[in-house]
Structure 1
Amino acid sequence: MHTKSYTQDPWSQTLSLLARLSSDSASALPKPDYRRDRKQRRALVGVLALPGAGARIRIVERPDPVTATIAWYDPTVCHYGDQTWRASVARSSGVCAVSGLAIRRGDAIYRPGSGRPSPRNCNAMILARFVEEPADALMPARLPAASPEQMNEAASAKPSRCAASEHHLSGRTRT
C-alpha cells in the first residue's frame, strides 16, 4: 500500500506559516489579552517559589541578625546570585517561598530588599524560622502546607512593590 507523504522541509513550513499568518484570515485569530496576562504575571509573583515551581533558593550567608544574603534562581522570572533580604513583618497573607507554608499578616518573615528598579521577586516572602534556624532542625514535612484557599488568596493579592520593576522591564510609562 502506497501512502502519499506531505512532509515539507522546515524552511517551506516556515514560509507557509508566515503566509497564513499575514493573510486576511489571520485577523480572525484571537487577539492576546495583555491586560489579563499582566494580572496573571503579577499574581504569580506572590507564589513564585512554591515547592516544585522551579525556583531554587539558597541562603548564602547571614551578615547580621536582620539580613540574609540569598541566592534566588527561577528560570521563568529572575535570577539573583546574592540578593539581600531583610527581616520584616508580613503586611499581607502569602506563601513561604522555601516551604510552601501559609504566611499570615503579622508573621515574622524575610523579604527582598527594596531598590530601583524593584526586584522581580519583590513580593516573595520566607518565614523567618527558615532563615534563622539550621535547615536540618526544620521539618517542613510535619508542618501544615498552605491550603488551596490561602494559595489563591496570595495569588490574587495586589502586588505592593513591583510596579517599578514592571515599568523598568517594559520600558513604557504606566498610565
Structure 2
Amino acid sequence: MLVSRIDPWSQTIRLLSSGFRRANVDAGTQLVPERATSCGFEATPDTSHLPHLKVSLIERTTSLTVTIAWRDSTSCFYGAQVWRVANAKVSGTCVLSGQRIRRGNRIFHPQRSKPSPVNARAMILESALNALEPLQISPI
C-alpha cells in the first residue's frame, strides 16, 4: 500500500486558494498564479510557497505610512494594518512583488505593537508600492 507523503491540510489549503489553478492533479504539479485583480490594488505574491496570501494596498496615509489589508488563510487576517517605511535590517522577499530584498533597501513593514503581529517580519519594497500607486506630493 502506498502512503501519501503530502500533508492533507497543506494540500487542502493549496487546492482552495483563490487566484490559483492546477494544471494537473499530480502531487508534483506547481501552482500557477493568475494575474487578475479585483478591487483596489490587490496583488498575489509571486512566490509559489505562499499561495494562501493576499496583500492589498488600502491607502497611502502619509509619505511614511500605508494601510495594508493582509489575508493569510493559514495564519491571520488584518483588515487595516498600518505599515511604516524603513531600511531593511535583513535580507528577504517582498510579499507584494516576490522580488528579493537586500539589507538596506527601503521597505514597508508592519507597525510595531504589543503583542507583535503574526506578520511582523513581512516586508514590502517601497518601489513595489510606488509601482502600484506613486506617492503624490501636494504643493505647499
Q: How does 1:135-146 map to 2 (within 5 A)?
A: none
Partner of 1:62: 60
Q: How does 1:9-24 map to 2 (within 5 A)?
A: none
Distance in 2, Cα, partners of 1:87 & 1:104: 15
Tell me which amino acid in the other structure corresponds to 1:81.
Answer: G
Tell me which amino acid in the other structure corresponds to 2:47.
Answer: P
Partner of 1:101: 99
Distance in 2, Cα, partners of 1:99 & 1:61: 17
Tell me which amino acid in the other structure corresponds to 2:131.
Answer: E
Answer yes or no: is the 8 Å Cα contact 1:68–1:84 preserved in 2: yes
Tell me which amino acid in the other structure corresponds to 1:113.
Answer: Q
Partner of 1:116: 114
Name whichever structure is richer in helix by fraction: 1
Partner of 1:91: 89
Would you say 1:82 and 2:99 are equivalent positions? no
Distance in 1, Cα, partners of 2:60 & 2:95: 18
Cα drift, residue 134 of structure 1: 2.7
**CA gap 1:120/1:50 in 2 versus in 1, 3 angstroms:** farther
Q: How does 1:125-144 map to 2 (within 5 A)?
A: 125-134=123-132
Tell me which amino acid in the other structure corresponds to 1:119.
Answer: P
Runs of 4+ in 1 over 4 A off after TM superposition: none
SS in 1 for 2:129: helix
Answer yes or no: is the 8 Å Cα contact 1:50–1:96 preserved in 2: no
RMSD across aligned C-alpha pairs, in angstroms? 1.7
Tell me which amino acid in the other structure corresponds to 1:83.
Answer: Q
Greater Rg by CA: 1
Would you say 1:51 and 2:31 are equivalent positions? no
Name whichever structure is richer in strand by fraction: 2
Aligned length: 88
With the length of structure 2 as denominator, give the TM-score of the two structures: 0.59
Cα drift, residue 78 of structure 1: 0.8
Tell me which amino acid in the other structure corresponds to 1:51.
Answer: T
Report percent identity of matched pairs.
40
SS in 2 for 1:91: coil
Answer yes or no: is the 8 Å Cα contact 1:85–1:111 preserved in 2: yes
With the length of structure 1 as denominator, give the TM-score of the two structures: 0.47
